[in-house]
Amino acid sequence: MGLAMTGWLAGKHIWIEGSSPAIAAACRAAGATLTSDGDLDVWVHVVAVGAAKPAHEIAHAEWRASLGAGLDRRFLGAKSFADACRARGVGGAVLFVGAPEQALGADQAAAAGALGNLTKTLGVEWARDGIRVNCILTREDGATLGNLAAYLASDYAAYVTGAVIGIALDD
Amino acid sequence: MLVTGGGSGMGLAMAKAFAQGGARVAVMGRSIERAEEGAAQIAALGARTHAMSCDVRSPEAVAQAFDEAEAVLGPVSLLANNAGANFPVLAENISPNAWAAVTRIAIDGTFLCSAEFARRRIARGEGGAIVNNSAQYIWTGFPGDAHSAAAKTAQATMTRKLAADWAPHGIRVNAVAAGFFPHADSVSGRRDDGIEPLQAMIPAGRTGSIWEFGWLSAMTCTPLFGDMTGQVIVQDGGESLRRSLMMPDFVPPRERVDGPWGWQ
């Protein structure tokens, strides 16, 4: 089928913090402008699926680095994004992307669990500001991830907030 | 594609979204008149369509309906399980017949239609996709709707297992856990004071449009989401999420007959 999301993100300025070629490609194909500068409509924060260690081999500094990227930066970044949206009097969308809770080590289990319930909480706290907050927890990094992210960033997903979504069976 | 309960409401919204995506749409309903009304709206979009009557609780009837759909429109490669009934009622007042009607249409019907669909896809050596219409209250219970609470959760939990069973055959299975999408035939859509009381209680500040539900349902079946399976996606404007540690005083279901989800 020749389905495409042409124009779904036309006019939207999206900052994809972290690396996901699939999300970047899908957002561009849907008409978004990818930028970290100026007024943003969507903030996507990606933490790549990394290596896992048994819990007793994780040094505290490594633990902190995981939680810092997988949780702290996400909260603080979302907070800044939402502040900016409110200051401009516009809505927006936040999308967190990372590995599933049980996919990696205890550091990821803690970070992703916290992130999921943070997603649900912020989705409600900012709902009346028109700011949606969703989360994709998956090992996948292909076209479906990109298209799902583009959908969640778009106005077609205007009634989706506080959702934590996987892609593959074991996500 | 084939949509059960596709003649009206959320099923019709699904059917229209699939039609917009280029699918030929078989509309199945308990009532042939309603299925035909829905099919007429789909035909008006320029899509090929066919209306059928079927009781999804009967495996023989389901097989016959698939035969009919495939004879008219060709092989069914996508399935939307929407057939269902729901009405507010105290648990102690649910008759065995009412319990059977709500649970077997949703639980047995989703299973029977999905299994019939899968057997045909597997026989052809081709994959396919299924989307199930579940509900946002599957994680919390639904006091005052015990039959639907059970039925909609069964749909969601079987979604995950059907996806696992059929992944080797390239058949994807996902569900949308839908919030309030009022329409002419829904309990919430029939209220005298309209949907405003519902809008006020939802974090997003509004009820959903059934088109939003239709689009997401159809998207899960497209190649755009070609790697997605076994997922239950909540689409409810935050409705199912807790909004405060403090909760309103608990009102037992039998004392809220006149409330915004009361029964007449």
Catalytic residue (one of B18, B66, B117, B137): B137
Range of the domain at A26: 13-138+160-165
Tell me the domains of chain B and their CATH numbers: 2-243+250-255 (3.40.50.720)
pLDDT of residue A125: 97
**Chain A residues whose beta carbon lies within 8 Å of the beta carbon of residue B242:** 120, 124
Residue A56 touches chain B, beta carbons under 8 Å: no
Distance from CA of A65 to the nearest CA of B (A): 30
The torsion angles phi and psi of A82, rounded to 5 degrees, stand at: -65, -40
A9-50 per-position pLDDT tens digit: 999 999 999 999 999 999 999 999 999 999 999 999 999 887
Q: Judged by CB atoms within 8 Å, which residues 59-88 of B form the interface with A? A: none
Residue A3 counted as domain residue: no
| B218 closest CA partner among B67, B53, B43, B1 | B1
Residue B189 has pLDDT above 70, yes or no: no
pLDDT of residue B256: 79
Residue A157 touches chain B, beta carbons under 8 Å: yes
Residue A97 counted as domain residue: yes
Contact status, residue A30 vs residue A154, Cβ threshold 8 Å? yes
Residue A171 counted as domain residue: no
Residue A88 counted as domain residue: yes
In this prediction, residue B203 has a pLDDT band, given cuts at 50, 70 and 90, of very high
In this complex, do A128 and B216 lie within 8 Å of one another by their Cβ atoms? Answer: no
B137 is catalytic: yes
pLDDT of residue B167: 98
Residue A37 counted as domain residue: yes
B3-37 per-position pLDDT tens digit: 999 999 999 999 999 999 999 999 999 999 999 99
Neighbour order of strands in the sheet with B128-135: B49-53, B25-29, B2-4, B78-81, B128-135, B171-178, B232-235
Q: How many CA atoms lie within 13 A of A122 on its CB side?
A: 28
The Cα B179–Cα B208 span in angstroms is 7
Residue A4 counted as domain residue: no
**Chain A residues whose beta carbon lies within 8 Å of the beta carbon of residue B208:** 159
pLDDT of residue A2: 56
B245-260 per-position pLDDT tens digit: 998 888 888 887 666 5
CATH of the domain at A43: 3.40.50.720
Place of tokens 């995506």: B21
In this prediction, residue B228 has a pLDDT band, given cuts at 50, 70 and 90, of very high
* A144 → closest Cβ in B204, B225, B230: B225
Mean pLDDT of A103-107: 93
pLDDT of residue B170: 98
pLDDT of residue B255: 84
Residue A6 touches chain B, beta carbons under 8 Å: no
Residue B118 has pLDDT above 50, yes or no: yes
- How many separate helices (H) and strands (E) can be counted in chain B? 8, 7
Which of B160, B234, B240, B245 is the mutation pick for testing A, counting most A CBs within 10 A? B234
Tokens at B58, concatenated? 């009967």
B126-184 per-position pLDDT tens digit: 999 999 999 999 999 998 899 999 999 999 999 999 999 999 999 999 999 999 999 87
In this prediction, residue A1 has a pLDDT band, given cuts at 50, 70 and 90, of very low
Residue A76 touches chain B, beta carbons under 8 Å: no
Listing DSSP states for B205-217 in one string gives: SSPPPHHHHHHHH
Q: Give every CB contact of residue A113 below 8 A, 6+ residues apart in sequence.
A: A101
In this complex, do B203 and A158 lie within 8 Å of one another by their Cβ atoms? Answer: no
Mean pLDDT of B86-98: 90
Residue A149 counted as domain residue: no
The Cα B54–Cα B7 span in angstroms is 12
Mean pLDDT of B202-230: 97
In this complex, do B179 and A165 lie within 8 Å of one another by their Cβ atoms? Answer: no
Q: Note the pTM of the prediction, 2 decimals.
A: 0.94
Question: How much of chain B, in percent, has pLDDT values that exceed 90?
Answer: 82
**Chain B residues whose beta carbon lies within 8 Å of the beta carbon of residue A162:** 203, 234, 238, 241
**Chain A residues whose beta carbon lies within 8 Å of the beta carbon of residue B168:** none
Contact status, residue A29 vs residue A6, Cβ threshold 8 Å? yes
Q: In this structure, are strands B25-29 and B49-53 parallel, antiparallel, or unpaired?
A: parallel
A54-88 per-position pLDDT tens digit: 999 999 999 999 999 999 999 999 999 999 999 99
The torsion angles phi and psi of B244, rounded to 5 degrees, stand at: -165, 150
Residue A71 DSSP one-character state: I
Tokens at A6, concatenated? 């042409």
Tokens at B216, concatenated? 């997401």
Domains held by chain A: number: 1
Question: How much of chain B, in percent, has pLDDT values that exceed 70?
Answer: 94
Q: What is the mean pLDDT of chain B?
A: 93
